[in-house]
């Protein structure tokens, strides 16, 4: 299930999970809109992974904390630590490969 993330729920939904995928995006970002259906599919297909989205306009502190300079930006967390970072639109297979 896809979760809308903010500074209040980020730790519980992402950092406290074994594996998590976070999509940093903005509503006005064309490439983010292209990637969004892929993230939705991953969230549906992989219930074992916590998948969430952070709107960088609404949650600028979180975006800053994780050094988000370009969007879309995907961060894979494993046991609360950043494992991988993908910037830009990426194919689903490449994203899934980072989740193994």
- Out of 5, 20, 29, 43, the active site residue is 29
Contact 86, 98 (CB under 8 A): yes
Residue 83 in 3-state DSSP?
A: strand
Contact 35, 23 (CB under 8 A): yes
Residue 92 is classified by DSSP as: H
Active site residue 29: yes
Out of 20, 22, 32, 42, pick the active-site residue.
Answer: 32
Two tokens, residue 35: 């990637």
CA 32 to chain centre: 11
d(Cα 14, Cα 51) in Å, to the nearest integer? Answer: 8
Catalytic residue positions, numbered: 29, 32
């Amino acid at each position: 299930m896809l979760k809308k993330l903010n500074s209040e729920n980020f730790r519980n939904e992402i950092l406290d999970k074994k594996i998590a995928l976070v999509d940093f995006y903005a509503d006005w970002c064309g490439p983010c809109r292209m990637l969004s259906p892929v993230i939705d599919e991953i969230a549906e297909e992989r219930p074992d992974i916590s998948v969430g989205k952070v709107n960088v306009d609404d949650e600028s502190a979180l975006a800053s904390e994780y050094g988000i300079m370009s969007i879309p930006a995907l961060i894979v967390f494993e046991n609360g630590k950043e494992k991988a970072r993908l910037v830009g639109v990426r194919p689903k297979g490449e994203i899934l490969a980072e989740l193994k």
